[in-house]
Amino acid sequence: MKPMLSIVKIGGNIIENDVELAQFLTLFSELPGTKILVHGGGKKATAIGERLGIRSTLVQGRRITDAKSLEVAVMVYGGMVNKKIVASLQAHSCNAIGLSGADAGSIRSVKRPVREIDFGFVGDVDHVNTQSLTTLLQAGLVPVFCALTHDGKGQLLNTNADTIASELAIALSKEFTTTLYYCFEKPGVLKDVQQDDSVITHIDKEIYHRLLKEKSIADGMLPKLENCFHALDNGVEKVCVGNTRMLHPDHHLYTTITL
Amino acid sequence: MKPMLSIVKIGGNIIENDVELAQFLTLFSELPGTKILVHGGGKKATAIGERLGIRSTLVQGRRITDAKSLEVAVMVYGGMVNKKIVASLQAHSCNAIGLSGADAGSIRSVKRPVREIDFGFVGDVDHVNTQSLTTLLQAGLVPVFCALTHDGKGQLLNTNADTIASELAIALSKEFTTTLYYCFEKPGVLKDVQQDDSVITHIDKEIYHRLLKEKSIADGMLPKLENCFHALDNGVEKVCVGNTRMLHPDHHLYTTITL
């Protein structure tokens, strides 16, 4: 039987709230077994960028990562946010090690080809180095990933944190029975987006297709669910979607997604 | 016989010069055997801090690290500089992994006690986690340290890069035969600070005391040499002082320091 691995992704809303981040890091450090944390960046990079006189560029409503924005992302996500999380986890006796995809050659990506939009220094994950990661995990270390990868030719690339989490989960599911946790601001996938108590506790493919037909999934949730099923279709055991409290052993109100 | 380990420290002058940094990283990646890189920060943090409206505070001519300066140091040293170096080394097939002292609990320090001056968030190295580091080194990884440590209670601390290099070298000399390389702007310890060709190629304690008596060591060099002998007195095999070219196998003009 393969050992268990938990991969937890937190978004910007948690990182920007010091109290919530502290509560989350306590829960995460208490999560038993082998684990990985992936964090997004949120608005901190935008705020620091603006103070540095670097404005984020939008083309057709999509954010573009030019050279200066990338530098800010590397400073804020790879430096400030990542190292603070690592230092906090260490204080909780969780042996965290902060990584970008460049570190230990762990995640290589390809600069997104220019089609309708040139996204700039944005990478699509190409290869996860499971050997490097397995070595770190077997040494009892807890990798903490920021949303940066590299192209193997010296270029760092901004990469979606949800994708990093799912690609890590897929690659490592050959060696581990992997559960992927997506923490966001809602308590789970909701029947009624206005009602936090309308959590759908279990979704499988059949239920998913029914919900799609009924058009009862909020637009923002659709790419997230697509990403979840992509992970499940590629070897991940289970995906859980909810707020950070779902890491608490006594909290059961969140959405579990299986094939 | 213990395996060999090279620990190379580079200063701000190299980091600020893109051409020199690229040349150095090529040399470093070609250095055979187990190795660690330690980098200082230089003036980049000051420059970014000023753009963010954060001015560095000096008390009695000494730089103070307040909370905001620390945040800038974490962004610039731990983020921008460290990740760029790691991505470049990876492009040279050198399996680099960027670390602060918080990562893998590798270097714990104590916030410098307030005596005449309150230096703020500055740490003096207290403990090097040789177990964590040996695991990484044995896995073929090349740690790249920025000049940040942690107190184990969640606080990151600014720490002198020369000291990080020597404390790593001392701690790891129990497991490795350790050579410490200090790269700076001069080709070595000079007889005449105005003459770059006046390199003293070998210094031992006897020669050191004679040079001290003759007052022929430049003031800036004294604390560096004290630090070198402190390392040698505590198990380090050899310390080399010179410019980055000393890593080239055909370059022999630098200062070797032994007991």
pLDDT number for residue B123? 95
List A108's β-bridge partners, or say none: A127, A150
pLDDT value at A59 more than 90: no
ipTM: 0.95
The distance of A48 to chain B (nearest Cα, Å) reads 8
Spatial neighbors of A8 by CB under 8 A, at least 6 apart, are A28, A31, A35, A36, A37, A38, A165, A181, A183, A247
The residue behind tokens 């003759």 is: B214
Q: How many domains does chain A have?
A: 1
- Asked if A230 reaches chain B (Cβ–Cβ under 8 Å), the answer is no
Neighbour-count burial of B67, counting CB atoms closer than 10 A to its CB (0-12 exposed, 13-18 middle, 19+ buried)? exposed
B42 touching A (Cβ < 8 Å): no
- Residue B75: its pLDDT value, please? 96
What average pLDDT values come out for chain B (259 residues) when binned by 10 residues?
Answer: 96 90 97 96 84 82 87 95 98 98 98 91 97 97 98 97 97 98 94 90 96 85 92 98 94 95
A159 interfacial to chain B (CB closer than 8 Å): no
Instruction: Count Cβ–Cβ pairs < 8 Å, chain A vs chain B.
Output: 131
What 8-state DSSP symbol labels residue A189? S
Q: What is the pLDDT of residues A92-136, one digit of tens each?
A: 999 999 999 999 999 999 999 998 889 999 999 999 999 999 999
Strands B107-111 and B123-128: antiparallel
| pTM of structure | 0.96
Provide the shortest C-alpha distance from residue B194 to chain A (in Å). 38
In this complex, do B132 and A150 lie within 8 Å of one another by their Cβ atoms? no
Inter-chain residue contact A97 with B99, CB threshold 8 Å: yes
Residue that is written with structure tokens 């700039």 in the block:
A120
Contacts of A88 in chain B (CB under 8 A): 154
Q: What is the pLDDT of residue B151?
A: 98
Residue of A75, A131, A137 to mutate, testing the B interface (most B Cβ within 10 Å of its Cβ): A75
Tell me which residues of chain B, numbers 171 to 200, contact chain A at a CB-CB cutoff of 8 Å.
Answer: none
Query: pLDDT averaged over chain A?
Result: 94
* Interface residue B64 vs chain A (CB under 8 A): no
Quickly count: other Cβ atoms within 10 Å of residue A19's Cβ.
Answer: 7
The pLDDT tens digits of the residues spanning A2-29 come to 999 999 999 888 998 999 999 999 999 9
Of B21, B54, B77, B80, which to mutate for an interface test with A (greatest number of A Cβ within 10 Å)?
B80
What's A8's domain CATH number? Answer: 3.40.1160.10
Confidence class of residue A215 from pLDDT cuts 50, 70 and 90?
Answer: confident
Q: Do B51 and A48 touch (CB under 8 A)?
A: no
**pLDDT of res. A254:** 97
Structural domain span for residue A37: 4-257
